[in-house]
Structure 1
Amino acid sequence: MRSKQNSARSAGMRVAKQITAFLTLLFAALAAPAALADPADISAASRSVVRVVIIESDGDRANLITHGTGFAVTPNLIVTNAHVVEELRRDDTLIAGVVPAEGRNGFPAKLVAYSPGNDLALLRIEGGGSITPITLFPGAPGDGSEVYAVGYPGNVDLAQGLSMADLVTPQAAVKTRGYLSGGRSSRSFDTLLHTAPLGSGNSGGPLLDSCGRVIGVNSFGTVSDNSTDSAFYFAISMRELSAFLRRANVDAHTSGLPCRSIADLDRAEAERAAGEQARLAAQTAAQADAKQRAMDKARRDAELAILSERDNGMALAALLLVAALGAGGWGMVQASRHRGRFQRKHVFGAGALLLAAVVTWFLRPSLASIDQRARELVPAADASSPAGSASGMAEAGSTRMVCVLDPERSRVTVSDITDVPFEWSGDGCVNGKTQYGLARDGWSRILVPNGEETVSVNSYDPDSHTYTVERFLVGLDAMTKARAERARLNAPACGAGEDAARKFGDSQQAIKALLPPEPNERMRYNCQPAP
């Protein structure tokens, strides 16, 4: 009876522990903050948003006829609403222009595609101007997901008292947040219903997901005579926009990967690092335990071997001693037969046997040599074990490799996903021509291009064979400062030595100090020797 009670009590305790563990995980999940949009992603996407203006000019004076919003899908092609540029179709004396969010001036534009059936139009920037293109999301956005509208609402311009000169001067776009509201569409063309507030000048602007990718083109809102009704807005869906761009032979950049925040990645990396540390600790403990067991066995084997050798030595010494005495006695017998004269061979034979007995006695292994013999046996056991997988990768640092993106450890919003050929040298030289800098955070190279509004921090960890690219989609002012700092750097040539690599690594910190705390993208690649 007592055993049954103990068994029941143990089962109850196990169930209680399982319930406690489940509740702990549940509360942790409920307490975890919801992953909202990263403001840096929305700001980065806003670089591609422009104000579209329609101007009437008689040569001396210019009047603003209307204005709306658009966004760049290539460096010189702007998507907007057809109703924003409708006046251009009616009057060929009117002038279209696009005013970027950053810079010093706007650019003239020409209407190249017009589709009133789904309220879409395409402008081409004239005069060599260019805008950073935005990324489109080709998938279906989830119902209830967070969305952002970016544009130039006229009621904000009116509240600020902006003049016409202000409207054609680069200004930051206005951002509003809302949510997708049901799968309802307008009857004229496919649209998304959402709650991100729009003004009259928002027409043609992008509707963004949490990663700053376009999921629709804002077009119109609900109208009601009842002031208590909630406001809803419609954006032209990606299905309509994709078909429109295909007909116009426009190849826009798309990214269909799941939207994950850097915070989510950091938490996952922390859990992964903790798990890896626990695994390494368990592996180290197991190796230490195995080594101790091997040492104990080796000591037992050494002790048996030493005792056996000592016994054999004692037996052999005793045998040699008996033989020496026998030879001496035989010599005495022979000497008595030859009038007391010992023969030389008897003397030498007895002496040699006696000496051999003494030497054999002293050459016996001592008991103190057991530990030394045991230590000699353990490396032999280790050498016989199969080599681990790490030994195969130890040479990968000096070979050509192919680095493949690890989606579970990456956040990609605007970049293309391709395998990266990579050749690493132990002195920090990459692909035989690019020297990386060595700092406290490891090997890295910061790239600040002239033709792109992006700063990339590329790093490589020779121990884990992990190549990481972090991209910062910064604004014009930050890029200007980063380029100025880059101009002050003097990157050493490959093979300049560790001191030069460390000096270069320290000097790159000046550019890192200008970057935001978190990147917009983080791409981690696992590198393996190329086939």
Structure 2
Amino acid sequence: MTHTSHVSPRLSHLIATAVGAIVALLLGIVAAPAFADAGDVDAASRGVVRVVLVNQAGEELVPVTHGSGFAVTSNQIVTNAHVIREALQDDTLRIGIVPSEGTGSAFVRPIAVSPRNDLALLEIVGSDLRLPPLTMAGGATAGLGEVSAVGYPMNVDLAQGLEMSDIFTAQPPVKSRGFLSGERPSRQFDTILHTAPIARGNSGGPLLDGCGRVLGVNSFGADSNGSDAEFYFAVSLRELLPFLRDNGIEPRTNALPCRSIEELNAAERARFDAQRAEAQALIDTREEARREARSEARLKAQIEVMEERDDAMAIALILLLIGIGAGYAATQLRAQGRSDQAANSAAQSRAMIAAGAAGAAFIATILIWVSRPGYAEIEDRVAAALDQAEGGTADSDGQPISFAGDGSMICTLAPERSRITGARTDDVEFSWAADGCVNGRTQYGMTGGEWARVFVPNNEAAVSVNTYDPQTRIFRTDRFLLSRADMDAARDARRAYTPPACGVTDGARVLGEQQSGVIAQLPDRPNERLVYTCEASINAGTQKGEEP
């Protein structure tokens, strides 16, 4: 026997829509191109410095030449060995750095120099200047990707009319774009060939991918002889990473694909559309099943009610006939007693018994007739059958089911939904309460139907906006990498309010309004987005440490 399932045209359309959205989502994740994000390059550029060789004559510092460098820790800088070569051979020269922001500068000392692969490591001395370290691109370099070279080319200084003495003033580095042309060994070390223009002074600056991660250290250019296309070379990570590790530095490395926020947003929209179509298809399927179950339950109830009514009416008819018979017998017995005085007493007794039986039969007939199920009973039985089939809202112990998003959560990063350029990606553990209280002490604010908490640290050039959706158990961190001036403004806005503690009446709404001042200063899109999927933790306690 062949069983054929019937699927309505609407359900088929919804299923096709869901499948199409899922395919679009997968294609968007797998095949979407990566583009350079100016915000990420700008953020990475804040860790790029001008490396200056100076001759100190008395109190006066006289710059001799300069190159570029970038921070790999808060107080250590990478540059080319050839940038500081003269200072290594002339004890009258000192090495200084000028950051891209602020008014501070500092002297540095070389702690490792490798002429073989043109790398040098410098360390800040005698200053509390701290720099934002750059992140290394941990994945394999893909050909023909867009890249940015960042540094301080001398020809730009000359075009701007800057004197050598002006290089002690903090200025943003110059950024140029090009494309990767491949990796190849050159001058005894591995290099990256690219087309992002560099000039004298760019040496030691970073070559960045579209997410602002370091691909290499710009070193030299090809001689075009005024006619051929120009190519440039950067010391590759195959040289840089071992050099850093040999000197006790484990740099921040990120091997995840570089995708834009726009790509993530498009993927999330496709994901949402797919989930909505899937949910609608499931609703329609359940509704169809419910209609079928209701139809079956109604047919069954109709049959049961009609059978019970027929049975009741048959019994009532039998009892009625019994009552009539008993009444007739009682009448005859009374007549017999009146005609036969000798048997009067016995006849009267039997007549009373027959009359009682007739009365009982009539009463039972009336009760059965009145209590027989009516046609309204059909709908009641249908509703009861559906309720029993669908179950209630309590657990096996009869206790109400708690909301899925409450309790102790442990959240794991979803790389396919995230954009990470340098942030840590550790698991997040916290305890969530229905009123937006985290770990019993950190209140989240409610704005536009979303739970959020803004964090403005004093020791990091980034503002984080954490959000949590108890319904989907999605925890998200949007990180905005800001300039020094923008961070100062964000810190001022944060110091202007004191967040309400957990348990304060209307605390979620109040905090939502308070945080709006900081959020209003943030760019339209974050530099990083970390998306975590959460599930109930088996641990009763919460992790102590940094709040989520």
Give the counterpart of 1:464 among 467, 472, 489.
472
Residue of structure 1 equivalent to 2:121 = 122
Equivalent residue letter for 1:147: V
Alpha-carbon distance between aligned partners in 1 of 2:239 and 2:33, rounded to the nearest angstrom: 31
Partner of 1:449: 457
Residue 183 of structure 1 pairs with residue 183 of structure 2: yes
Task: Provide the residue aligned with 1:162 in structure 2.
Answer: 162
Q: SS of 1:361's equivalent?
A: helix
Query: Amino acid of the residue matched to residue 500 of structure 1?
Result: G
| One-letter code aligned to 1:268 | A
Structure 1 SS opposite 2:282: helix
Return 5+ residue gaps in structure 2 as ranges: 1-19, 539-548
Choose the corresponding residue for 2:448, options 437, 440, 463: 440
How far apart, CA to CA, are the structure 2 residues paired with 1:385 and 1:488?
46
Following superposition, the deviation at residue 392 of structure 1 comes to: 12
Task: Name the CA shift for 1:385/1:519 in 2 (closer, same or farther; >3 Å).
Answer: closer
Q: CA deviation at 1:178?
A: 0.9
Q: Which moved more, 1:395-404 or 1:255-264?
A: 395-404
| Aligned equivalent of 2:79 | 80
Q: Cα offset for 1:441?
A: 4.4
Deviations 1:491-514 (A, max 9, x none): 1111224x2211211221221111
| Residue of structure 1 equivalent to 2:174 | 174
Q: 2:509 & 2:388 partners in 1: Cα distance? A: 41
Q: Which residue of 2 aligns with 1:322?
A: 321
Deviations 1:292-344 (A, max 9, x none): 11111111111111101110110111111112112212222322332277544
Which residue pairs with 2:535 in the alignment?
A: 528
Count of aligned pairs: 500
> Would you say 1:299 and 2:307 are equivalent positions?
no
Cα deviation for residue 264 of structure 1 reads: 1.2
Letter in structure 2 aligned against 1:241: L
- 1:265 equivalent to 2:264? Answer yes
Letter in 1 for 2:439: N
Q: What CA distance in whole angstroms lies between the structure 1 residues aligned with 2:182 and 2:113?
A: 29
**Corresponding residue number in structure 2 for 1:18:** none
Q: Which runs of 4+ in 1 moved over 6 A?
A: 384-387
Distance 1:274-1:386 versus aligned 2 partners, 3 A rule: farther
Report Cα offsets for 1:16-39 as digits up to 9, x if no partner: xxxxx9xxx9xx99xx99531111
* Equivalent residues of 1:179, 1:194 under 8 A apart: yes
For the Cα contact (< 8 Å) 1:320–1:353, is it kept in 2?
A: yes
The DSSP-based 3-state class of the residue aligned with 1:183 is: strand
Whole-angstrom CA distance in 1 between matches of 2:61 and 2:38: 37
2:518 to 511, 516, 524: 511
Q: Distance in 1 between matches of 2:307 and 2:201?
A: 99
Once the two structures are overlaid, the 10-residue window that deviates more, 376-385 or 295-304, is: 376-385
CA contact (8 A) 1:35 1:261 kept: yes
Match runs of 1:121-520 below 5 Å: 121-126=120-125, 127-224=127-224, 226-339=225-338, 342-343=348-349, 344-383=352-391, 395-497=403-505, 499-520=506-527
Q: Kindly state the Cα deviation for residue 285 of structure 1 after the two structures are TM-superposed.
A: 0.7
Q: Kindly tell me: are residues 392 and 403 of structure 1, through their superposed partners in 2, closer, same or farther at Cα, counting changes over 3 Å?
A: farther
Using the alignment, how far apart are the partners of 1:184 and 1:398 within structure 2? Answer: 54
Alpha-carbon offset, residue 135 of structure 1: 0.3
Q: CA deviation at 1:524?
A: 0.9
**Does the aligned pair in 1 maintain the 2:183–2:192 contact within 8 Å?**
yes
Question: Deviations for 1:362-421, whole angstroms, at most 9, x for unmatched residues?
Answer: 21122233223222221112129999xxx9995443321210111111111101222111
8 Å CA contact 2:62, 2:165 repeated in 1: no
**Distance between the aligned counterparts of 2:129 and 2:334, measured in 1?**
126
SS in structure 2 at match of 1:103? coil
Residue 218 of structure 1 aligns with an amino acid whose one-letter code is N
Secondary structure of the structure 2 residue equivalent to 1:140 = coil
| Partner SS, residue 414 of structure 1 | coil
Separation in structure 1 between the aligned mates of residue 384 and residue 497 of structure 2, nearest angstrom: 54
CA shift for structure 1 position 467: 0.5
Shift of 1:280: 0.9
Deviation of 1:166 (Å): 2.3
The residue type equivalent to 1:238 in the other structure is L
**More displaced, 442-451 or 243-252?**
243-252
Would you say the 8 A contact 1:105–1:168 is kept in 2?
A: no
> Judging changes above 3 Å, is the alpha-carbon distance between structure 1 residues 95 and 385 closer, same or farther for their aligned structure 2 residues?
closer
Aligned residue identity for 2:517: A
CA positional deviation for 1:472: 0.9
Which amino acid is 2:164 matched to? M
Q: CA deviation at 1:41?
A: 0.7
TM-score (normalised: structure 1): 0.90
Return the alpha-carbon distance in structure 1 between the equivalents of residues 197 and 153 of structure 2: 10
- Shift, 1:158, TM fit: 0.7
Task: Give the RMSD, CA atoms, in angstroms.
Answer: 2.3
Aligned-pair CA distance for 1:139: 2.7
Given residue 101 of structure 2, which amino acid in structure 1 is its aligned partner? E
Equivalence for 2:50: 51
Identical positions, percent: 46
